[in-house]
Amino acid sequence: MRIKYHDSESKFPITHVFHLLGRFSFGVMYLFKLHLSEWLELKKQLIFTDRDYASHVDLIAKVHGLQKAESYIEKLPKSFRSEVVYRSLLGRCASKGYKKKAEEIDL
C-alpha cells in the first residue's frame, strides 16, 4: 500500500506508518490503524495490494469481529480475494478457537 501526499507523485509505504504505530498499546492501536486505513482508502490515496487487504481484514476482525471481516472480503474486487486474504481470516479464527468457522473457510 502506498500513500500519495500533497498531490504529488511522491509516495511512501504505509507500512512505515503502521510500524511506528505498532509501538503503542495494541487495543487502542488496532482501532486507530483501522480508522487510518479506512480513511486512506476512502480518500483514494492508496495503492492496495492483496497483502494490504489481508492486513485490513485482520484489523476488522480484531476490532469488529469475524462477521464484519467476512463482509468486507465479499466486497473486495475478485482479483484481491487471494489466499493471503483468506489466510488472514483463518488466522483470526484460529486465534479465537473457532475451529468450525475455520473449517468453513475455503482456500
Q: What is the pLDDT of residues 25-73, one digit of tens each?
A: 566 778 888 888 888 778 776 778 888 899 899 999 989 999 999 999 9
| Grid cell 486474504 in the structure block, residue | 85
Q: What is the pLDDT of residues 5-21, one digit of tens each?
A: 444 455 556 666 666 66
The C-alpha cell of 77 is what? 474486487
Question: Can you tell me the distance from the alpha carbon of 94 to that of 88, in angstroms, rounded to the nearest whole number?
Answer: 10
Q: Report the predicted TM-score, pTM, of the whole model to 2 decimal places.
A: 0.69
